[in-house]
Amino acid sequence: MDQNELKRLVGEKSVEWIKDGMVVGLGTGSTVYYMVEALGRRIKEEGLKITGVTTSNVTADQARKLSIPLASVDEVDHIDLVIDGADEISSDFQGIKGGGAALLFEKIVAINSAKVLWIVDESKMKKHLGAFPLPVEVIPYGSQKIFDRFEAKGLNPTFRKQANGSLLLTDSDNYIIDLHLNEIKDPHALADYLIKEVGVVEHGLFLDMVNTVIVGKQEGPVILHARD
């Protein structure tokens, strides 16, 4: 199986966690794509009744096409479960997310959800975090100053650009600065520093958050229990 087939495998497996009547957070990315397609099929074929809370415009568009009922995070009184992808997961189940620039809404939905389920192919499982560039969402005003401070601290920042060379804008019209760190020795200390920088809206460290991970391996999906 190639990487895409592993993503499809875990995406389709993950909808088994969705039960009738649930409010379900729908993450973002190429792995979540398969989960949302499979959820759409269950709604159509089994009459499953759920409410979806999306984490990006891309996922909202896909869900609408599949007639998945949606509500915003502020319209629901709870979220039972969010199913999302991840860019890296360390051996102690900390994560980096935001490769698709959706980290802000993803984190808002995750912290408001009773359970967090991540679906990844096996290439995302790492000993330490940091090989994947850490996304930091910043407001445009003063972003060059934040960039300069990151550079002075040796965090190797780059502004994320689109294919046409212009700066990428998130769904909230912010910029992404990616930090090229190779290895993050103390994710909690880095997270504390980043969130205190004025102008930083959110960062892609998702710490102490995930309950269950489904890993796509050649021999089939493996379910890992991270925390209650």
Ligand X SMILES: O=C[C@H](O)[C@H](O)[C@H](O)COP(=O)(O)O
Contact residue for ligand X among 13, 97, 107, 160 (CB under 6 A): 97
> Is 52 annotated as ligand-binding?
no
87 in contact with ligand X (CB under 6 A): yes
11 in contact with ligand X (CB under 6 A): no
Which amino acid is it at 120? V
**Beta strands of the chain (E only): which ranges?**
23-26, 51-54, 79-84, 88-89, 95-96, 113-121, 134-138, 157-159, 175-179, 200-203, 205-206, 212-217, 220-225
Nearer to ligand X, 4 or 51 (CB): 4
> Is 220 annotated as ligand-binding?
no
106 in contact with ligand X (CB under 6 A): yes
8 in contact with ligand X (CB under 6 A): no
- CA 188 – CA 208 distance, rounded (Å): 10
For ligand X, which stretch binds (CB under 6 A), given 59-67, 95-103, 108-116, 147-155? Answer: 95-103
Count of CB atoms situated within 10 Å of the CB of 144: 12
User: At 38, phi and psi to the nearest 5?
Assistant: -65, -35
Annotation marks residue 106 as catalytic: yes
Token couple for 106: 């993803």
4 in contact with ligand X (CB under 6 A): no
25 in contact with ligand X (CB under 6 A): no
Binding site for ligand X (CB under 6 A): 27-31, 84-87, 97-103, 106
